[in-house]
Amino acid sequence: MNEKPAKPLPSAYGLTLDDWIEWALAHDQTKFRAKQIVEWLYIKRVASFDEMTNLSQPLRELLKAEFVISRLPVVRTTGSQDTTQKFLFRLHDGRLVETVKIPANVHFDGGQSDRVTLCVSSQVGCAYACQFCASGLAGFTRNLEAGEIVGQVIGAEIASGDAVRNIVFMGMGEPLANLTQLTKALEILNAHWGLNIGARQMTVSTSGLAPQIEKLALIPMQIRLAISLHGATDEVRDQIMPVNKKYPIKRLFEALEVWRHNKKQKVTFEYILIEGVNDGLDQAGVLAKRARTMNAKVNLIPYNTVEGLDWSRPDEERQEAFLSVLKSAGVTCTLRREKGHDIDAACGQLRLQEETAEGIIASVAE
Ligand code: SAH
């Protein structure tokens, strides 16, 4: 009989300072040791516990027996240093996740920024089956652990040599369906002892899980919220995002009111333009109204073709016409005009290709 493989050790990147303090006290260590550990992990960025030279040998052995410093290995990189770069990381169970690095001179919403933005994944696969999205094609596999979310940021910094100063949770998965691990990861990314990334520089994007938006609104961090809207009426949104049946626009907007009340900040609506599906100027009109009531910004994103899905993007004239309806209604709105349709293919595609090649998806389907 085959023995079950031993459960892998948890990632050291998944613990907050409080978790480390609790761990230290439970192992007859002082609080100060916990501070030293996080300093080695995040400030000095060591790759092994053996390099933590101001800790005793027995303590290092104890750490080695309980945790790994898991720098996620890169399986594949596409793009180059000065363009959008995609990293495919392998997790401890062989699963793959994508992380996209957007260079300093291009901002994800079409504006300019002097800071590198990283688009991170929150789950392997996704259960929400949005009709435009590659990640949903193979269904949901599992939640990422906080250490795997933080690990993507550290992994991308090591692989690219650039510091990440902005993070968007717009990679694979639905971050709000993984709220516990997401919240922990946000804390580690934001903390002074951690990656020290400003809360305002982190955007969580959701397909619209209303109750979880209300929960996220309670965390004491000024993170930003983006909503994948993609349809201005229930009729149109229902065709694109099955989640709209569960939380229709009215319910979603109630949650956004809670967010606005607690956070006192604007939300962003993402709106992919899909030819003949949601690019009608009537939709633009309703979208403009909704954005104005919420005082929301709108990011228009021309649809990226996904293999296996037959939608396409409207021509530029149509995109500009949609944009001008919003602009003339006084809505703050950007239209992503960048090229790179090929390299910057939609999230989830790299993983699909690679996992299909490795037969992982096939074996899950059995
Ligand atoms: N589940 C979360 C995060 C993943 S999708 C959410 O729904 O917000 C995040 C964003 O990726 C989408 O809103 C969209 O802006 C972008 N995206 C995904 N697939 C795309 C495609 N085929 N073309 C263009 N943008 C896409």
CATH code for position 198: 3.20.20.70
* Per-residue pLDDT tens over the stretch 299-308: 999 998 887 8
DSSP assignment of 20-69: HHHHHHHTT--HHHHHHHHIIIIIS--SSGGG-TTS-HHHHHHHHHH-B-
Is there an atom of ligand 1 within 6 Å of 170 CB? yes
Is there an atom of ligand 1 within 6 Å of 209 CB? no
Of 78-92, 121-135, 311-325, where does the model show the most confidence?
Answer: 311-325
pLDDT of residue 246 exceeding 90, the answer is yes
Cα 87 from Cα 71, distance rounded (Å)? 13
- DSSP E strand boundaries for the chain: 74-78, 85-90, 96-102, 117-119, 123-125, 140-143, 166-169, 202-206, 224-228, 268-273, 297-302, 333-335
Per the domain annotation, does 111 fall within a domain? yes
Cα 244 from Cα 169, distance rounded (Å)? 20
Rounded mean pLDDT, 72-98: 88
Q: Are 176 and 204 in contact (CB under 8 A)?
A: yes
Is there an atom of ligand 1 within 6 Å of 301 CB? yes
* Closest CA to ligand 1's atom 8: 206
Domain shared by 22 and 153, yes or no: no
* Per-residue pLDDT tens over the stretch 101-128: 988 765 445 444 567 889 999 999 999 9
Domain shared by 120 and 222, yes or no: yes
Q: Is 130 a catalytic residue?
A: no
- DSSP E strand boundaries for 303-360: 333-335
What's the confidence (pLDDT) of residue 363?
32
What's the confidence (pLDDT) of residue 337?
74
**From the alpha carbon of 311, which atom of ligand 1 is closest?**
22
Rounded mean pLDDT, 285-312: 92
Per the domain annotation, does 72 fall within a domain? no
pLDDT of residue 344 exceeding 50, the answer is no
Domain shared by 243 and 309, yes or no: yes
Rounded mean pLDDT, 163-179: 95
Domain shared by 145 and 42, yes or no: no
Q: Are 161 and 143 in contact (CB under 8 A)?
A: no
Per the domain annotation, does 2 fall within a domain? no
> For the chain, what is the mean pLDDT?
89
Is there an atom of ligand 1 within 6 Å of 306 CB? yes
Cα 269 from Cα 291, distance rounded (Å)? 8
Is there an atom of ligand 1 within 6 Å of 227 CB? no
* Closest CA to ligand 1's atom 19: 133
Domain shared by 60 and 98, yes or no: no
Q: Which residue, among 271, 293, 211, has the nearest Cα to 246 in the 3D structure?
A: 211
Which carries the bigger pLDDT value, residue 104 or residue 43? 43
pLDDT of residue 235 exceeding 90, the answer is yes
Per the domain annotation, does 156 fall within a domain? yes
Distance 361 CA to ligand 1 centre (A): 21
What's the confidence (pLDDT) of residue 113?
56
Q: Are 226 and 205 in contact (CB under 8 A)?
A: yes
Q: How confident is the model at residue 83 (pLDDT cuts 50, 70, 90)?
A: confident
pLDDT of residue 366 exceeding 60, the answer is no
What's the confidence (pLDDT) of residue 354?
57
Domain span holding position 161: 94-358
Which carries the bigger pLDDT value, residue 365 or residue 130? 130
Domain shared by 129 and 262, yes or no: yes
Rounded mean pLDDT, 78-84: 77
Of 28, 47, 66, the position where a domain reaches its end is: 66
Nearest-Å Rg of the Cα atoms of the chain is 21
Is there an atom of ligand 1 within 6 Å of 183 CB? no
Per the domain annotation, does 234 fall within a domain? yes
| Tally of domains in the chain | 2
Which carries the bigger pLDDT value, residue 100 or residue 1? 100
What's the confidence (pLDDT) of residue 308?
80
Domain shared by 168 and 20, yes or no: no
Domain shared by 47 and 168, yes or no: no
Q: Is 355 a catalytic residue?
A: no
Distance 49 CA to ligand 1 centre (A): 38
Domain shared by 53 and 170, yes or no: no
Q: What is the DSSP letter of 98?
A: E
Q: What are phi and psi of 111, to 5 degrees?
A: -85, -170
Per the domain annotation, does 274 fall within a domain? yes
Distance 64 CA to ligand 1 centre (A): 38
Domain shared by 196 and 139, yes or no: yes
What's the confidence (pLDDT) of residue 361?
39
Cα 363 from Cα 219, distance rounded (Å)? 39
Q: How many whole angstroms from its chain centre is CA 213?
A: 15
Rounded mean pLDDT, 289-309: 92
Q: Which residue, among 264, 263, 228, has the nearest Cα to 128 in the 3D structure?
A: 228
Residues near 310 by beta carbon (within 8 Å), at least 6 away in sequence: none
**From the alpha carbon of 304, which atom of ligand 1 is closest?**
23
What's the confidence (pLDDT) of residue 138?
79
Domain shared by 43 and 181, yes or no: no
Per the domain annotation, does 86 fall within a domain? no
- 109-118 in b/e form (b: 16+ CB < 10 A) is beeebebbbb
Q: Count CA atoms closer than 13 A to 327's CA, side-chain side.
A: 9
Ranking 72-81, 224-233, 246-255, 355-364 by mean pLDDT, the lowest is 355-364
Set 98, 145, 187, 270: catalytic member: 98
Ranking 101-105, 283-287, 315-319, 330-334 by mean pLDDT, the lowest is 101-105
Per the domain annotation, does 1 fall within a domain? no
Is there an atom of ligand 1 within 6 Å of 38 CB? no
pLDDT of residue 92 exceeding 70, the answer is yes
Q: And the tokens for 296?
A: 């929301």
What's the confidence (pLDDT) of residue 360?
42
CATH number, domain of 61, equals 1.10.150.530
Most ligand 1 atoms within 8 A of CB, residue of 228, 237, 271 to mutate: 228
**From the alpha carbon of 172, which atom of ligand 1 is closest?**
4
Domain shared by 34 and 150, yes or no: no
What's the confidence (pLDDT) of residue 78?
87
Q: Are 14 and 147 in contact (CB under 8 A)?
A: yes
Share of the chain above pLDDT 70, in %: 87
